[in-house]
Structure 1
Amino acid sequence: MSLYRAETRRLTKRRFTRLFLLGVTLILAAVAAGMVFTNQKVGPAQIASARAEAQQDFQRATEQFERDLADCKAAQGTPNADRWPPGCEGMSGPTQDNFQTQWYMPPTFDFRENFPDMVTTLAALLALVAFIVGASFVGAEWSSGGMMNLLLWRPQRLRVLGTKLAALLVFFTVLTVVFSALWTALFVGIAELRGSTDSMTSGAWQSIGLMELRGLALVVVAAALGFGLASLGRHTAMALGVTIGALIVFQFGLGTVLNLAKVKFADAYLIPVWMIAWMDKEIKIEDYNSCDYSSAGGCVPDSLTLTWPMAGAILAGVFVLIVVVSMWTMRSRDVT
């Protein structure tokens, strides 16, 4: 049996891997079920019901305004006059625009509008699983002594570690592609049952496909990051500890310090912002401590737009750095 096949079999047969995949499957099933039960298909009956409810609320608001206006006029020249505007000026009744029919429509799953959030949900969950499984895959080998035994059989350090990483990345690539296809098909069905796919065009499908590819890249980088950190520390806890420390230091500590120091575009230093820019193609950050004045728009805060190529460059840099450093340490450090 080849080394790659052996490592792939080792990865897929681990109970740790299977339990995490079962867990993420159950979570995704719960999300899909929630979408089914909280949305409904909109037809003429729902539109008529929403229009009637909007009209009823408009009528009630109009009647309440007429009562308030009458009370205001009756209170003029009495001790209760201070409860109302002087001379009842400024009191205005509701208009039909304040009770638009679409505001009373039941929730419905519009595939084009709502599915991108589901793609992000899938990518985030799979990236989390990929990181943890990747860290455990190599970390358990180091902590149990399995890596040393394997190197006795195959005394080629870089080939062994590289094959393990390749097996991990190929596994999660295939897994993400399969999950993405099933996830898309599932929500097409949900949209047909509880919403609509009428707004989907060829361009919209292309955008969905590209977003899923970006999600795939996020999963692959997360798997490599967990694998590389655990390999550097030669223990699963190394990857998890670094991640927890990064969240505490960079997300809470650094964010608080930057905001207190009123650093311009402080959010640009936080990891989730870059993940959003990657998945949503761009994100606009505004600096509310500044004012870009114009006679037409007044005081408008300065803004910074982070785009997916910028976020992609960071992801690629992290991927290359972690892989190269982990390979270098594997070659230079003693295996003990």
Structure 2
Amino acid sequence: MSLFKAETRRLAKRRFSRYFVLGAVLVLVAVAIGMFVSNEKPTPAVIAQAQAEADRYFQEQTGYAAEEKKRCESLTPEQMKQQYGEGFTCDQLGQLQREDVQIQDFMPSQFDFRENFPGMVTTLAAILAMVAFVVGASFIGAEWNSGGMMNLLLWRPRRLQVLSTKLAALVVSLIGLTVTLSAVWTGLFWVIATMRGTTAKMTSGAWQSIGLLELRGMVLVLAAGMIGFGLASIGRHTAMALGAAIGVIVVFQFGLAVVLQVARVRFAEAYLLPFWGIAWLEKEWEVLDYNAPCDFSAVNGCEPPSMVITWQMAGIAMLAVVGLVTMAAMWTMRKRDIT
């Protein structure tokens, strides 16, 4: 049996990997169930009920406005001045118009596949990225911790080939997992939209956009897995990767966010990793600088300066991090003692 097949089987057979993936699947099932229960298809009966509620609301608000105007007209000029201010007249009281009351405001939530499914793809990508990071770290970390790596190198002494093969097995397995779950996820929410919402306006362009979003999500999952694998290989323990992740979250995210806010740094969000991930998935993210003088526009008024993090920028940054971590793992594998 080839080393690649052996490592792929080893990864698939690990109980930790199976249970962790199963836990993620259960979370995804809970999300899907929640979306199914919280949405409802607008049947004629539901539309009629919403229309009745909208009419009732309009009549109530019209009655309140009439009573308020009647009360206003009963006030003396001095009382009106004290309550409403100088020069106010009762005709200035707001009157609700029928077009201001939309039936959509009284309709139950429905799952619009075109509008709502991209958010579900982002949810899937985020959960799978976490799974990939932890599984990738534990895959190589357990080998170092148990002595399996040293035993393997006794009969396969090519260090870089062994580590590269393990990484390749992880990447291929993550691709298979992501593609499978993405296909199931898409089909599941298509059913939800059919039964509890709408699948209207799903043109070829809309499907292409969703496909590209799922592809970017898969790249994010692979990057997370490779980073977890690389960090655990450098530290030769799963805890190295998990500790680094916790450190990044606590120190470089929460702590850095506070420091940036206190220091009134311009475009502070651009220094925080989550927004780069959002930019990668959603193609761009606009960062506003509320610490700088606003840009005045005769049309839009006073607006804070902004910068846009594009998916290309986020992709380059992600590629750089993955490349540095992977090269560092290969370098330590080649230079450091195995024992």
TM-score (norm 2): 0.95
Choose from 279, 282, 297 the match for 1:294.
297
Structure-2 separation of matches of 1:304 and 1:191: 35
For 2:64, the equivalent position in structure 1 comes to 64
* Corresponding letter in the other structure for 1:72: C
What is the Cα deviation at residue 81 of structure 1?
Answer: 7.6
Cα RMSD of the aligned pairs, angstroms, is 1.6
What is the Cα deviation at residue 75 of structure 1?
Answer: 3.2
Choose from 249, 252, 270 the match for 1:250.
252
The gaps in structure 1 that reach 5 residues or longer are none
- 1:98-143: CA deviation from partner (whole Å, max 9, x where unpaired): 3111111110000000000000011111110010010001111111
Structure-1 separation of matches of 2:95 and 2:297: 35
What is the Cα deviation at residue 294 of structure 1?
Answer: 2.6
Q: 1:77/1:291 Cα in 2 relative to 1: closer, same or farther (>3 Å)? A: closer
- 1:218-261: CA deviation from partner (whole Å, max 9, x where unpaired): 00000000000000001100001111111112211111111222
* Corresponding letter in the other structure for 2:308: T
Structure-2 separation of matches of 1:253 and 1:159: 39
- Percent of pairs with identical residues: 57
Choose from 196, 211, 215 the match for 2:217.
215
- 1:39-80: CA deviation from partner (whole Å, max 9, x where unpaired): 111233333322221111111011011112222222326879
For 1:148, the equivalent position in structure 2 comes to 150
Structure-2 separation of matches of 1:181 and 1:223: 20
Structure-1 separation of matches of 2:332 and 2:140: 14
CA contact (8 A) 1:288 1:301 kept: yes
Structure-1 separation of matches of 2:125 and 2:191: 20
Structure-1 separation of matches of 2:131 and 2:54: 46
For 1:159, the equivalent position in structure 2 comes to 161
1:322 and 2:325 are equivalent in the alignment: yes
SS of the residue corresponding to residue 214 of structure 2 reads: helix
What is the Cα deviation at residue 87 of structure 1?
Answer: 4.7
CA contact (8 A) 1:134 1:168 kept: yes
SS of the residue corresponding to residue 289 of structure 2 reads: strand
CA contact (8 A) 1:111 1:188 kept: yes
SS of the residue corresponding to residue 75 of structure 1 reads: coil
1:16 and 2:16 are equivalent in the alignment: yes
What is the Cα deviation at residue 83 of structure 1?
Answer: 4.5
SS of the residue corresponding to residue 293 of structure 1 reads: strand
Structure-1 separation of matches of 2:97 and 2:76: 26
Structure-2 separation of matches of 1:190 and 1:299: 43
For 1:30, the equivalent position in structure 2 comes to 30
What is the Cα deviation at residue 88 of structure 1?
Answer: 3.7
* Corresponding letter in the other structure for 1:2: S
SS of the residue corresponding to residue 309 of structure 2 reads: strand
CA contact (8 A) 1:75 1:81 kept: no
For 2:243, the equivalent position in structure 1 comes to 241
Report the more deviating stretch, 212-221 or 284-293: 284-293
The gaps in structure 2 that reach 5 residues or longer are none
Structure-2 separation of matches of 1:88 and 1:133: 69
SS of the residue corresponding to residue 107 of structure 1 reads: coil
